[in-house]
Structure 1
Amino acid sequence: MMEITMETRKVNTKNLLKFILCSGFGVLMFLVPIPQGDSFTTLLDFLKSGLKGLFGESLSYIVVGTLVLSAVVSIVDMIAKPDIIRNNHYLKKAFSTTPFYLASKIVGAVIACMVVFGVGPEMIISADTGTSIIDLCGTLFCIVISFSFILPFLTDCGIMEFLGVLLRPVVRPLFHVPGRASVDLMASWFGASNAAVILTREQYMKGFYTKREAGYIMTNFSIVSIPFCLLIANTVGIDYLFPAFYLCICVVGVVLAIIIARIPPISRIPDTYRKKTGKQLNEEVPDEKNVFAYAVEMSCARAEKFSLRTVLSGGFEVVMGMLFDLIPIVAAWGTIALIIATYTPVFKWLSYPMGMYMSLFGVEEAFAVAPATLVGFADMFIPALLITGIASVKTKFIIGVLSLVQIIYLTEVGTIIIKSEIPLNLWKLFVIFLERTLIAIPVIVLMANLLI
């Protein structure tokens, strides 16, 4: 009873204002849709685009400088182990790494230099491989810079506690995750999937998700944004079917999320919190409490701890980790994945069974589009490019939806997940990718037959 009384005391004018105003700013930046042409975006996306415009052509050189600096300093750390890095929390997070990740950083730096300065084999520097990835790294750079110091307004001011308590009765039994995970889903829907994955990673690091919950959210809730869905529909020539197209994405996404939570490998991930932080989550409503009142109490208790210092320290930690530790890995692994997808027949060989599988459900031109069902593991835009010449509208619809519910794209979110502390390696991610693909196809075919 004493603990409940103490939480109740935190509901005062100061904490309520911090919760409402600061959380309101975070929601406004991350979650409120802003009209943009025929679609909509978020203020955070406007900020990201503004930064890209501000940097202009120099952005690619900034990316090269970041990747080269990361590789050089990490080499120095690996060889000399200087105290200035090892004894500094931020520098250690950014530059102290394993031999494998050090090699990845070096490869990423070399690829960036080759692309920007136009030297090296075509398969590395072409628009379909290295150039595409370095452009993505530039986008990630702007996302990290723009959202790192705004993220705490969404995660640390009480809105996640408020929604977590209110939505727990629905979200927990359906998806086996806390109610606060609904914020991750909305951030992805209206913003960007990689931003949502980073948000989930930070919530795990702070003790609000277990390993299993974080891994599940990253691989199921981080759906691509609505504007990108519209881009895919336009690319494959079915934009006039967009309402049905997006309805199918939402329904199939929910079906997949319900099933994937209950099968391996997600179900076998330890349901334990990070040792350094322990469990910080408290969404269960005491019997004597009203749900809404308890949601406000939890929000005010969280808002009381929020300060400018936490914004700066948390934001700077995210910036250092993302810029010097994550983006180099994206450059290396993303380029390698696209080279395999673009210049080798690997995906064509692997996709023959998928052609047979789709034929069972009556998909037209099944073998012609089979490679598009697997190549999405490398990048989410490639499947759309592979099916532009397909005649069947229904097949375009099916593959378009499939490419957007597979979620686990190495270039966008896969490398972020692998580099996190969540026990999901490349093989497990591929297994989840296959599970989502195999389960989704019959559901999409059924909905396509009903809607088109």
Structure 2
Amino acid sequence: MLNDLAPVLLTFFFFAALLLPFLVDFGFMEFIGSLVRTPFRLIFGLPGRSAIDATASWMGSGTVGVLITTQQYEQGYYNRREASAIATNFSIVSIAFALLVTSFIGINHLFIPFYLTVVVAGLVAAVIVPRLPPLSRKPNTYYEPAGCRIAEERTGSTGLLRYSLGMAVARAEQAPGTRQLLRRALFNVADIFFGLLPLVIAIGTVALVFAEFTPLFTWLSYPMVPVLEWMNVPEAAAAAPATLVGFADMFLPAVLASDIESELTRFVIACLSLTQLIYMSEIGALLLKSKIPLKLWELVAIFLLRTAITLPIIVVMGHWLVG
């Protein structure tokens, strides 16, 4: 599985490192962030520019969203609480990976209700999880070398669209020149290839060894059996390990659930695996390597919180949409 993962990560990291400056340094995040700042603050308690993180993840990969969040934090556009919340709640998996999971697990004919369920459960988790510890206890302070480099409030009577355009133009005027931009992109590529990718593969290898060659996740999932039975999920004993093994790798739940006969159970596991978000073979390793202040135990806590919040929603929608 790691042989399949490494080329994918190499490709995403290479193009993300080269293209990220064009996304974050020329005003696009300022424009979108200013437009959607009010609803994002009201609903998620986060800046509007975090919508770009989610969109980049949705269209490309969750790793791209984490890389954007990391850069924005290090440049002073997110504070510690915002960066931690965005990286663990908006780094969603891509549509392409969602299609792969549904095809592998045999529910591709249910893709529309499947993705609808993932979106609903993910939005609910994104509203609740940042308001709970450990994320709610993160300070609203900025990365010290950069400080705060963003003005959150709109002043004067300027219309929202004109203000957003003005913010974007002002940011674009500060964009680095071609030589500096190329130098930064090449530095990002080298830093990812030689500093980040080995850590991702190392952590992913350890996590996959525990998942595939030890009964650790089977033991840990014993309490999930009565919970799934209470929720009327068929084949609860077979499904229980798949509810937790996603912490190691995002594709392992689909592998474990592929032999389950119940279509409802496969639907539930597939949806849950896409809403848990914290995968140590990819996003988890990225976060531990980054300067975003998240510890391993906090990633475990966030993973369990997301599981506890999204599982009931997924089961209810599964009973309604699948039967």
Q: TM-score, normalised by structure 1?
A: 0.69
Kindly indicate whether the alpha-carbon contact (under 8 Å) linking 1:358 and 1:441 is maintained by their aligned counterparts in 2: no
1:208 and 2:77 correspond = yes
1:365 and 2:246 correspond = no
Pick the structure with greater CA Rg. Answer: 1
Equivalent position to 1:226, from 77, 95, 104:
95
Q: How far apart are 1:134 and its partner, in Å? A: 4.3
Quote the residue 2:141 is aligned against: 272
1:179 and 2:179 correspond = no
Aligned AA for 1:403? Answer: S
Quote the residue 1:422 is aligned against: 292
Q: How far apart are 1:362 and its partner, in Å? A: 1.3
Name the CA distance, whole Å, in 2 between partners of 1:448 and 1:142: 35
Name the CA distance, whole Å, in 2 between partners of 1:205 and 1:233: 36
CA change 1:135–1:233 in 2 (3 A) is: closer
Q: TM-score, normalised by structure 2?
A: 0.97
Q: How far apart are 1:313 and its partner, in Å? A: 3.0
Quote the residue 2:126 is aligned against: 257
Give the total of aligned pairs: 321
Unpaired segments of 5 or more residues in structure 2? none
Name the CA distance, whole Å, in 2 between partners of 1:223 and 1:146: 18
Q: How far apart are 1:259 and its partner, in Å? A: 0.4
Quote the residue 1:437 is aligned against: 307
Q: How far apart are 1:214 and its partner, in Å? A: 0.9
Name the CA distance, whole Å, in 1 between partners of 2:190 and 2:149: 24
Q: Deviations over 1:89-131 (max 9, x none)?
A: xxxxxxxxxxxxxxxxxxxxxxxxxxxxxxxxxxxxxxxxxxx
Equivalent position to 2:199, from 323, 329, 345:
329
CA change 1:451–1:135 in 2 (3 A) is: closer
CA change 1:134–1:237 in 2 (3 A) is: closer
Name the CA distance, whole Å, in 2 between partners of 1:270 and 1:313: 33
1:238 and 2:107 correspond = yes
Name the CA distance, whole Å, in 2 between partners of 1:393 and 1:137: 31
Name the CA distance, whole Å, in 2 between partners of 1:447 and 1:186: 24
Name the CA distance, whole Å, in 1 between partners of 2:3 and 2:172: 38
Aligned AA for 1:193? Answer: G
Aligned AA for 1:399? Answer: I
Identity %: 46
Kindly indicate whether the alpha-carbon contact (under 8 Å) linking 1:134 and 1:331 is maintained by their aligned counterparts in 2: no
Q: Deviations over 1:350-400 (max 9, x none)?
A: 000011222221111112110001100000101001011111111111111
SS of corresponding position for 2:146: coil
Aligned AA for 1:206? Answer: Q
RMSD over aligned Cα atoms: 1.2
Kindly indicate whether the alpha-carbon contact (under 8 Å) linking 1:376 and 1:406 is maintained by their aligned counterparts in 2: yes
Kindly indicate whether the alpha-carbon contact (under 8 Å) linking 2:12 and 2:61 is maintained by their aligned counterparts in 1: no
Name the CA distance, whole Å, in 1 between partners of 2:184 and 2:142: 19
Aligned AA for 1:172? Answer: R
1:354 and 2:202 correspond = no
Kindly indicate whether the alpha-carbon contact (under 8 Å) linking 1:164 and 1:283 is maintained by their aligned counterparts in 2: no
Q: Deviations over 1:53-112 (max 9, x none)?
A: xxxxxxxxxxxxxxxxxxxxxxxxxxxxxxxxxxxxxxxxxxxxxxxxxxxxxxxxxxxx
Quote the residue 1:127 is aligned against: none
Name the CA distance, whole Å, in 1 between partners of 2:180 and 2:158: 30
Q: How far apart are 1:137 and its partner, in Å? A: 2.7
Equivalent position to 1:390, from 260, 285, 289:
260
Name the CA distance, whole Å, in 1 between partners of 2:28 and 2:140: 24
